[in-house]
Structure 1
């Protein structure tokens, strides 16, 4: 069973351009990717400055991209983060949220996600407050499907370190309070999970009261640590057997739109081929499709350096790699050169302000 596959543009740092988004939709749709959630952390009107209306020029771009998605039979959605709204109990928040939702309603969205990720969560009645916000958004009729990301979207204890200790039975309470039609994102055992198992997902579904919608943080490479690496290898730990246990599989891609396509194609192949999936062979096929024979061969030889060593540990190899990939007249090779120049490096200060 292949679940609905999609892109969740939800990373920190430099977002993709509108042309890159459009190209990704057109390329990935034939490979089974049928939804796109626009939620870059760098869009201030969806996160830090969510109470301000999107400027008209930005709304025009969103509408144009929506039309491109529709032309490809791809669901178009927006992820809104009403930043820290859940920290304030009582009333008084509805007016600002209603104004924002009214503007987004003009886009005639297929999907609206209300996101509570990557901000403080150790407050009283967290599940109750968040359920009220999600239901308020759902009642406005902005989109045909409503999704939400919990504050604690993984079992990973790093979330408790970064955003405060999660309330006891938070996931169970949120699942009980939310309308069953609302889908809930989940990144797995870890923020960047190495694998998903049917047993893990069945347990989470029991806590949520619904099958989780995966927010898969591979091949994303944002943040101070991950932006030092290119995530290129074929996916592992995502067996086709998890399909019946999830509502869909959304992928948070890397900052590099073309290079992201290599692991994205292997995920589709993993579901399609099931137990016969061979991640090394899948990587080779995907790399050749995206890069062509010569560049794919070169990348295969350098993958240990590009994915594992890290930009900050290349030393004298950096200049040699830059010269090597500058010799290729290919946009993916230019992505590697830009990465080597630090174009996509994300510092902790940026994560704290986006």
Structure 2
């Protein structure tokens, strides 16, 4: 599969390994009973039939009138990537098709309704919903991709990509729709912003996980923050226009955010006009959704004397009133220029917790009810978010909030030297009833961010059916293009970056749980086991250490997304050194077990390699805080230090040849 196809199909390669069915170009083993496909995000309903059929090498497309040509092109790409070489067009499905027929369109088209009726299926009637119905007919089968709307049809194509990667299609009906209306990411971190190329790739990725929103809000864009009143240079505006076009093709709502808080004069009509002018310029390049960020600013002082005259002395309550007046004026302007526009989104100055305050009370009282309010949970980086937490936020802000989830963002001091690659957990199933959606604030490293964002998007799509561990594995398989060895290497690497810090001293996810369990087992076998148990544990650790040391080269070999390897470079470098330190440590323990004096040399070499690994630095300027790279810290480094003390080390000698 080419890299282009992997990017398009996204998670479809997951099905190859999960189901055990051969991939494109390989004739699948025919099984009597169809297998329930693994789809990510998890659909609302899969009704599995008793038959199945092979895709074959020839297919016919039956496309309803008015279907987006780009969506049809994506269906063609799915088929080609699954080994279908010949694709023709027809207006209807024959009674006994001699090859695969794929019906594509929305539920208001007669040809789609007829195909659904033949499959005893009905259209999903939710916004962004879709139905996929497949039946065995004649010598092949018919697959119907039916969207409730154009967005739903686009999502159906993403699921079809996962089904087609199996090589054969089970008879089934999938009815599916998102639990939350807003799902995606907000590029809202400090430090080096993403490049336009990274943003475009991120939009392509978001489509594969059925996200629908991307907020452009980089803190380091001067024309969105410090110089927000000024027009963008022509070249930057052209790049943003191209990005907005990529978003449209991916059915992603591109939301442009301005951050005027450090300098805005809330009561000055000129500043309202400046903001309207900024949004008008974005509307002219195809952006239709807007956002005003008022986070990380002071409300203990005004930026202008006019505000003091208009709202009185500065303070929390006065700030809430002033902000509401500005935002209401902007919302009125947006509605007047485009009555169908999505509501304005804002992030307040008090964006975390749900405690009653004068500021929140002022917003609740004065802010236009149409305006969407973002909230980061019980803290800036919350360890968990529950249904009662979200209900408290609804009460505090006077509306259901849009969760700004500060995971996996790594722009604060506690994340120095870290990638955050643990699964997305500790958000309570059922939050879809209490939130308008979830936006993840990702890392400065775009491709590694996809690991967590896959989970965020899957949770937003179906929070009650979300399986964190399986989705985490699916994210690894997608990055690995379905390759089993590369997937395993990625999961080993992810484990070294499992720790998720908060703004406090206690992390909300532990570091390296898989490695820690293995090392704890070795410690126990040495302390309490017999000779066989100890030697078996050391042999198992030796095999793991070899895989650990080899994982970086596997990740860099070309199978895994090249951007992941490039953006993770110092972490992979450090992991390789730590892997060698672990191998030397195992060699030392095995030498002790043989009563060999070579153990001293092995442990000394392990210590030197560990020091080299601990000295590897992050890429200068890539993140807000530069510093030494952390690899399974608190787990692997402790074991390397402790190993010489676990058994009595014989007198010093020369290391054995290995």
Tell me, in whole angstroms, the C-alpha distance in 2 between the residues paired with 1:192 and 1:279.
19
Cα RMSD of the aligned pairs, angstroms, is: 2.8
Tell me, in whole angstroms, the C-alpha distance in 2 between the residues paired with 1:88 and 1:270.
37
Q: State the partner residue of 1:19.
A: 197
Unaligned runs of 5+ in 2: 1-177, 301-313, 502-548, 572-615, 627-658
Residue 629 of structure 2 is aligned to residue 342 of structure 1: no
The DSSP-based 3-state class of the residue aligned with 1:247 is strand
Q: State the partner residue of 1:168.
A: 357
Residue 344 of structure 2 is aligned to residue 146 of structure 1: yes
* Equivalent pair of 1:234/1:266 in contact (CA under 8 Å): yes
* Equivalent pair of 1:8/1:36 in contact (CA under 8 Å): yes
Matches within 5 A, 1:242-261: 242-261=431-450
Out of 311, 318, 328, which is 2:557 matched to? Answer: 328
Out of 404, 409, 414, which is 1:225 matched to? Answer: 414
Q: State the partner residue of 1:313.
A: none
Distance change in 2, residues 1:57/1:338 (3 Å): farther
Out of 36, 39, 61, which is 2:214 matched to? Answer: 36
Q: State the partner residue of 2:298.
A: 120
* Equivalent pair of 1:325/1:334 in contact (CA under 8 Å): no
Tell me, in whole angstroms, the C-alpha distance in 2 between the residues paired with 1:227 and 1:289.
27
* Equivalent pair of 2:210/2:461 in contact (CA under 8 Å): no
Tell me, in whole angstroms, the C-alpha distance in 2 between the residues paired with 1:323 and 1:282.
22
Q: State the partner residue of 1:57.
A: 235
Tell me, in whole angstroms, the C-alpha distance in 2 between the residues paired with 1:70 and 1:91.
33
Tell me, in whole angstroms, the C-alpha distance in 2 between the residues paired with 1:34 and 1:26.
11
Q: State the partner residue of 2:323.
A: 130
Task: Output the TM-score relative to the length of structure 1.
Answer: 0.83
Tell me, in whole angstroms, the C-alpha distance in 1 between the residues paired with 2:372 and 2:415.
28
Deviation at 1:130, TM superposition (A): 0.6
Distance change in 2, residues 1:98/1:321 (3 Å): farther
Q: State the partner residue of 1:296.
A: 487
* Equivalent pair of 2:193/2:218 in contact (CA under 8 Å): yes
Distance change in 2, residues 1:152/1:87 (3 Å): farther
Tell me, in whole angstroms, the C-alpha distance in 2 between the residues paired with 1:137 and 1:288.
44
* Equivalent pair of 2:438/2:460 in contact (CA under 8 Å): no
Tell me, in whole angstroms, the C-alpha distance in 1 between the residues paired with 2:455 and 2:199.
19
Distance change in 2, residues 1:103/1:327 (3 Å): closer
Tell me, in whole angstroms, the C-alpha distance in 1 between the residues paired with 2:498 and 2:191.
19
Q: Which moved more, 1:96-105 or 1:203-212?
A: 96-105
Distance change in 2, residues 1:327/1:179 (3 Å): closer
Tell me, in whole angstroms, the C-alpha distance in 2 between the residues paired with 1:102 and 1:129.
23
Tell me, in whole angstroms, the C-alpha distance in 1 between the residues paired with 2:209 and 2:552.
33
Tell me, in whole angstroms, the C-alpha distance in 1 between the residues paired with 2:252 and 2:346.
20
Task: Output the TM-score relative to the length of structure 2.
Answer: 0.47
The DSSP-based 3-state class of the residue aligned with 2:288 is strand
Structure 1, residues 307-349: CA drift from partner, whole Å, max 9, x if none?
Answer: 4399xxxxxxxxx79965774334212221056652223139x
Q: State the partner residue of 2:396.
A: 207
Deviation at 1:100, TM superposition (A): 2.9
* Equivalent pair of 1:240/1:271 in contact (CA under 8 Å): no
Q: Which moved more, 1:215-224 or 1:289-298?
A: 289-298
* Equivalent pair of 1:101/1:140 in contact (CA under 8 Å): no
* Equivalent pair of 2:404/2:438 in contact (CA under 8 Å): yes
* Equivalent pair of 1:229/1:307 in contact (CA under 8 Å): no
Deviation at 1:263, TM superposition (A): 1.5
Tell me, in whole angstroms, the C-alpha distance in 2 between the residues paired with 1:216 and 1:75.
18
Greater share of helix residues, 1 or 2?
1
Unaligned runs of 5+ in 1: 158-166, 311-319, 349-354
Tell me, in whole angstroms, the C-alpha distance in 2 between the residues paired with 1:321 and 1:209.
53
* Equivalent pair of 2:458/2:466 in contact (CA under 8 Å): yes
Out of 249, 264, 283, which is 2:472 matched to? Answer: 283
The DSSP-based 3-state class of the residue aligned with 1:248 is strand
Q: State the partner residue of 1:2.
A: 179
Distance change in 2, residues 1:276/1:39 (3 Å): closer
Q: Which moved more, 1:248-257 or 1:167-176?
A: 167-176
The DSSP-based 3-state class of the residue aligned with 1:84 is coil
Structure 1, residues 81-104: CA drift from partner, whole Å, max 9, x if none?
Answer: 013245766666445434434433
